[in-house]
Structure 1
């Protein structure tokens, strides 16, 4: 390894999961092709006309399975998305009104959509710290939310950054050994600093006998500093599932989670997470409340600083009203638009590839970047790696020219993945979602331009979550919403499509 490679480490070698089947058809499409050809051949023994009549609808049914977008969706999936949107709009499901003047039972401000049936419980870990547990009764899932204050990469040696990345990789690999873990997410939220914490810290310490000039200088600093600063919060959610055949009491599950939290927090500290701690149910409710109504962010900080807490409950963390449109989500004092990952950076990247995307963006009220992880158990990881290895070797031996050169590069990548997996590394499926919140719908276009510039600098491709903005907004909140757990079609069947 050269000195240049040692001083400037690079990362990458991620691959899109290979879809089983023939080309873009998928497994179901491949079965349909071969099954249909057999039927057509048998029909041709009777009459060529009958065979032609059977062949035409077969081609019409299978062709949409072969036409796919950049992110791998076929025509049937696009049609299903549009049909579901029209159905929700016809039923009025894209509108939500809560509170005492609404028709909602109880007259409270429960979060809408995927969070409407979620409940929150609280337990205490081994250090007697309170932590909230979000219970998803429909899916029998339990979510723990952890908060941390990352050290950041400014004025840090590259060797230390490399160590942090390695420790983060070990922490992700450890998730595949967590019993019952369905998925994890890392949510980085940025927003302009309202200056509330600075004002409470500085103004309360000014001596009444201080000179007028000194008082004026400190008051000016408190007023002007927030305009050039921003606040950043990092949340990690871990979602566990209980098998349907195991009936466990909620309190037993919470006790089990309390035992695991200290070990998970220590791993985050070693990966550069700084001060890591579990979030109480009150703090979780505050995060959701501010996300739906950004205008109350300063009030929440003020009340917390003056009284040590807000007393906010989960049943009052939602918006008073929200409206979902094709390309936006209107909620209380904000308008949001979400994007979903379609293509990860190709080739090798450096550790700072997402720095611009994670930093605060000018002209936005709040911005959340959510990295979603789906750990794969070691046995399944070994099968996937070996299947990719055999497929890459077959393509390399059968191709020519440019195809053979690309296949050879693919062989080197899968060989490295196989070696790392054999040495104990974990295999994780990941994705990325982004939500930007502004004050009005007129500012969405400018925010979209800002996001496109950030994506170009980060070398990733994302598409707007059109016709599912409400669900995408919920997925970027630190509440443990996993997209693959919220679909009616099983994940294995989706991969076969």
Structure 2
């Protein structure tokens, strides 16, 4: 690309998958096992050759599963653990959920299931006296606030303005690494076919009784046909906080502190092209979750908000009446969903509109949510990670004889650029992406799967279905602050060593 073309259409990139420590595909634990096995074999060889051969066979059986990995980096032990966990949950009956007055659950209400079952919602008011909901994840002692915004979009916008928005978004993400107690953030873009209720509620009451029949017919036809070719899009940003350094603090103190932070966070979002932004109230959060589990009530909720100013929906009634988790799908009230998880980000550089096709509404689906998950890294840890990647890239490039391979040279340049950017104040953020598509019946999932695969190809993304964990993955794409790395049984450090 020429310099003039690059200036008109800027590109972005330089994201890198964290380098796994250890020897080749073994990881740190596998590498320790390999060298430990060598030492044991040397000691046993002094005793008996037969015992040494038996030890070698046992070591090979234990270590070879660590070297066989899927494209997304999982080894055989992790795949076996996932299947065992799935079979255990099926045997316990935890893959089926029933709530309501006729269920065995106390209270006779409809609380959200799974990872959201222990969430308690309260409400506060920010500096502008706007109500905002706070979700308390009691199992992890985390607090989540949800911000709603209406992005301006990139249509008919100059490339210079788009580049400014991207830079401002990068500054906003870098600022998150300095937020005290912040554990993670997510951006959820939800699209769905327009129900037509908002247009009908705005237009039909304004038709004058004495209007000509022709004009009345035209307006009624607009109300009837317009939703067939339109869609609605909502953007939510969640920020999840924990107590700094493990300190136990009261809920009122946390809410007061979050209320002080909200105006600054909103100002940064507006500068990044998020349009009008405001925190979501507890009632609004409950409505979003309710519609996600039962898409058929979306029109009723819009009618209630237009006619009475609100629904009065409480968090304890935002869940489904019944759900059934299958190996490759998740059935809930009036919808069936499937979730995909990112395995490989686009290689090289991309344009600012690389995700546009994936974010747009998909024909034939009830709802679609694209969730970008971010885990900000504090500046001290960022410096250590960047320097470690830089040294590893230089070692890999200089350890080969002859000419340096092109990929190794690119690794060195990317590591050097990352080190320079981090040293000048840029933040380091781990990110991932999840996509949830909801349809009416199981038979429509195959068509939705084909549509999503086509959109992923256009976005240069590699993703896989979240098989045998569809219920948890569904919860992660909701604007409820579920951070996957906070809910794993194996500590994050151990998983990285595997």
**Shorter-chain TM-score category?**
over 0.9
Q: For 1:248 and 1:3, locate their aligned partners in 2 and report how far apart those are by CA, in whole Å.
A: 55
Offset at 1:158?
A: 0.7
Partner SS, residue 272 of structure 2: helix
- Match in the other structure for 2:337: 336
1:291-330 equivalences under 5 Å are 291-330=292-331
Q: For 1:402 and 1:264, locate their aligned partners in 2 and report how far apart those are by CA, in whole Å.
A: 49
In structure 2, the gaps of 5 or more residues are none
1:340-419 equivalences under 5 Å are 340-400=341-401, 404-419=405-420
Q: For 2:299 and 2:361, locate their aligned partners in 1 and report how far apart those are by CA, in whole Å.
A: 17
- Match in the other structure for 2:275: 274
Q: For 1:111 and 1:89, locate their aligned partners in 2 and report how far apart those are by CA, in whole Å.
A: 19
Contact 2:398-2:404 at 8 Å conserved across structures: no
- Match in the other structure for 1:42: 43
Q: What TM-score, normalized to structure 1?
A: 0.99
Poorly superposed stretches of 4+, deviation over 4 Å: 400-403
Offset at 1:466?
A: 0.3
Q: Encode CA deviations 1:78-97: one digit per residue, 9 max, x unaligned.
A: 00000000000000000000
Offset at 1:399?
A: 2.1
Offset at 1:245?
A: 4.2
Offset at 1:210?
A: 1.2
Partner SS, residue 24 of structure 1: helix
- Structure 1 position 91 matched with structure 2 position 92: yes
Contact 1:399-1:407 at 8 Å conserved across structures: no
- Match in the other structure for 1:74: 75
- Structure 1 position 105 matched with structure 2 position 106: yes
Contact 1:368-1:434 at 8 Å conserved across structures: yes
The number of residue pairs the alignment matches comes to 497
Contact 2:191-2:232 at 8 Å conserved across structures: yes
Q: Encode CA deviations 1:159-213: one digit per residue, 9 max, x unaligned.
A: 1000000000000000000000000000000000001111111111111111111
1:259-270 equivalences under 5 Å are 259-270=260-271
Contact 1:395-1:404 at 8 Å conserved across structures: no
Contact 2:96-2:323 at 8 Å conserved across structures: yes
Offset at 1:3?
A: 1.7
Q: Encode CA deviations 1:441-472: one digit per residue, 9 max, x unaligned.
A: 01000000001100011110100000000000
- Match in the other structure for 1:441: 442
- Match in the other structure for 1:250: 251
Q: For 1:402 and 1:212, locate their aligned partners in 2 and report how far apart those are by CA, in whole Å.
A: 81
Q: For 2:322 and 2:167, locate their aligned partners in 1 and report how far apart those are by CA, in whole Å.
A: 44
Offset at 1:401?
A: 6.4
Offset at 1:53?
A: 1.2
- Match in the other structure for 2:129: 128
Partner SS, residue 46 of structure 1: coil
- Match in the other structure for 2:489: 488
- Match in the other structure for 1:162: 163
Partner SS, residue 286 of structure 1: helix
Residues 452/400 of structure 1: CA separation in 2 closer, same or farther (3 Å cut)? farther
Q: What TM-score, normalized to structure 2?
A: 0.99
Q: For 2:230 and 2:148, locate their aligned partners in 1 and report how far apart those are by CA, in whole Å.
A: 21
CA RMSD across the alignment: 1.0
Partner SS, residue 341 of structure 1: strand
Q: For 2:183 and 2:439, locate their aligned partners in 1 and report how far apart those are by CA, in whole Å.
A: 32
Q: For 1:56 and 1:220, locate their aligned partners in 2 and report how far apart those are by CA, in whole Å.
A: 76
